[in-house]
Amino acid sequence: MDCGTTGPRQIWPSICPPGVQIPEAAQPGPEIDVERATQAYMNLLSPEQRARSDAYFEGGYWLQLWQFLYGLAVLLAILSLRWSARMRDWAERVTSRRWLQSAVYALMYTPLMWLLSLPFAWYAGFAREHAYGLSNHTFGGWLWDKFKGMLMVTVLAVIAIVSIYAFIRRAAANWWGWATAFMFAFLLFVFLITPVFLNPIFNKYQPLADGPVRSAVLSLARANEIPADNVMWFDASKQTKRVSANVSGLFGTTQVSLNDNLLNRTSLPEIKAVVGHEMGHYVLDHPLQGAVFFTLVFGLGFLILERFFERGRRRWGERFGIRERADPAGLPLALAILSAYLFLATPLTNRYIYAGETAADLYGLNAAREPHGFATVSMRLGAHRKLEPSPLEEFLFYDHPSGRRRVEMSMRWLGENQGLFTPAPSSQDRGTAANPGAENQ
């Protein structure tokens, strides 16, 4: 079975064999030592594998900064070359209706931004992923996915830009209040349509055939009162080597989707652990809470934007050809301010997401009761996420608990729930204690 990258860059030789490997120190027993058990899991990766994963993830910290600066440079170029003013002029020639002018502007602006951002996107999303052996994408496939993404974003951008400029024309300096209310509806709309309508644009979703995985997932769903009778799988392996799953619902149709990497490269205890985590997000209502949180983040951003935009316009408006607040030619200036705010707010938004992920982790442990499954899959995720960051690093950059935190959580949970387990016969037995002799995929 192909279980990761092959060749000199292989990340997973030791933990790659499918199935849960329970290190000796992590065996259930009367005196399980959380720290020792966690360390035993950490030792499953060789120093070379660790170094490689650390380098990939630490490079990602800088990548966030370069991405922000690159985006800023593109926005400033569009402004100072007066391309933005020219797109506004074209829009005015096409129609005299102001709302349509902002729509025409958005129809030109979004593909232009996409094109200018493509070199960076290629480096960060294609070249670098391949260099670390994390991607399965062909260049053509990658470009086609990017193009489809751009069409999708253009439709959403037209809706958002037309609406927000309508608020600016009607409410002048108070536009930001209306824009914040709009953002809430917009985020909910995007969260709701993404799994059902947008994800199938990129991947093919098919019902999972009857078998142990399907019955385990449906049993978990019933136990957690998730009205799902649909278990789907999708072909993520054409893009990436990462494992993932999600639970999503719209109008009473709830579906659990597993990616094929999860199905083909991990074991049943790991699948149950991952699905338990995703069910946590669903049951704890994280999409709705996330929409509320990010509405507040955007609301504050709009307020800051209102203060800085007028200053910037007075200063550079003439040079960039921006006439007034409601002139779509000012959009790149507005987005430059907003992106600076969002960049600086990243540690804050990371904290919010991190808290939700921790809650889902604990929910998943309690629901799936697969501490070794969760510890093992957390080690697999260590291929692209530094396993043991410093506390400051985890605070600033992590939006999910680190691998070490997750293994520690699993081992603590195991230590406190010994009564649920019969001791496993030996470390050679690949089932978990909760599923003695369970067949691994």
Write phi, then psi, for 233 (nearest 5 degrees). Answer: -130, 155
Span near Zn ion by CB under 5 A; candidates 110-118, 325-333, 355-363, 380-388:
355-363
Q: Which is nearer to Zn ion, 75 or 360 (CB)?
A: 360
Count CB atoms within 10 A of the CB of residue 440. 19
224 secondary structure, DSSP code: T
Strand order in the sheet with 253-259: 205-207, 228-234, 253-259, 245-250
Q: What's the min distance (Å) between Cβ of 79 and Zn ion?
A: 38
Would you put residue 369 in left (φ > 0), alpha (ψ -120 to 50) or beta? left
Give residues 356-395 in contact with Zn ion (rule: CB under 5 A): 357, 360
174 secondary structure, DSSP code: G
25 secondary structure, DSSP code: G
Would you put residue 7 in left (φ > 0), alpha (ψ -120 to 50) or beta? left
Q: What's the min distance (Å) between Cβ of 410 and Zn ion?
A: 15
Span near Zn ion by CB under 5 A; candidates 60-68, 85-93, 114-122, 349-357:
349-357
Question: Are residues 420 and 372 in contact, defined by beta-carbon separation less than 8 angstroms?
Answer: no
Q: Which is nearer to Zn ion, 49 or 248 (CB)?
A: 248
Q: Which is nearer to Zn ion, 168 or 360 (CB)?
A: 360
What letter represents residue 283's amino acid? V
Q: Which is nearer to Zn ion, 258 or 360 (CB)?
A: 360
SS3 content of the chain, % helix, strand, coil (to 5): 70, 5, 25
Q: What's the min distance (Å) between Cβ of 21 and Zn ion?
A: 24
Question: Are residues 252 and 266 in contact, defined by beta-carbon separation less than 8 angstroms?
Answer: no
Span near Zn ion by CB under 5 A; candidates 105-113, 162-170, 261-269, 350-358:
350-358
What torsion do the CA atoms of 299, 300, 304, 309 make, to the nearest 10 degrees? -20
Q: Which is nearer to Zn ion, 17 or 290 (CB)?
A: 290
Q: What's the min distance (Å) between Cβ of 281 and Zn ion?
A: 6
Q: What's the min distance (Å) between Cβ of 277 and Zn ion?
A: 6
# binding residues, Zn ion (CB under 5 A): 2
Q: What's the min distance (Å) between Cβ of 246 and Zn ion?
A: 9
Count CB atoms within 10 A of the CB of residue 279. 26
Q: What's the min distance (Å) between Cβ of 433 and Zn ion?
A: 25
Span near Zn ion by CB under 5 A; candidates 1-9, 113-121, 178-186, 351-359:
351-359
Span near Zn ion by CB under 5 A; candidates 40-48, 282-290, 354-362, 419-427:
354-362
Q: Which is nearer to Zn ion, 129 or 357 (CB)?
A: 357
Contacts of 89 (CB under 8 A, 6+ apart): none
Q: Which is nearer to Zn ion, 243 or 336 (CB)?
A: 243
Q: What's the min distance (Å) between Cβ of 269 and Zn ion?
A: 18
Among the listed residues 313, 350, 314, 315, the one whose alpha carbon sits nearest the alpha carbon of residue 332? 313
Q: Which is nearer to Zn ion, 247 or 297 (CB)?
A: 247
Rounded Cα gap, residues 254 and 229, in angstroms: 7
Span near Zn ion by CB under 5 A; candidates 70-78, 153-161, 352-360, 413-421:
352-360
233: helix, strand or coil: strand
Give residues 215-254 in contact with Zn ion (rule: CB under 5 A): none
Give residues 6-65 in contact with Zn ion (rule: CB under 5 A): none
Rounded Cα gap, residues 396 and 399, in angstroms: 9
Q: Which is nearer to Zn ion, 84 or 255 (CB)?
A: 255
Q: What's the min distance (Å) between Cβ of 102 and Zn ion?
A: 36
Interacting residues toward Zn ion by CB under 5 A: 357, 360
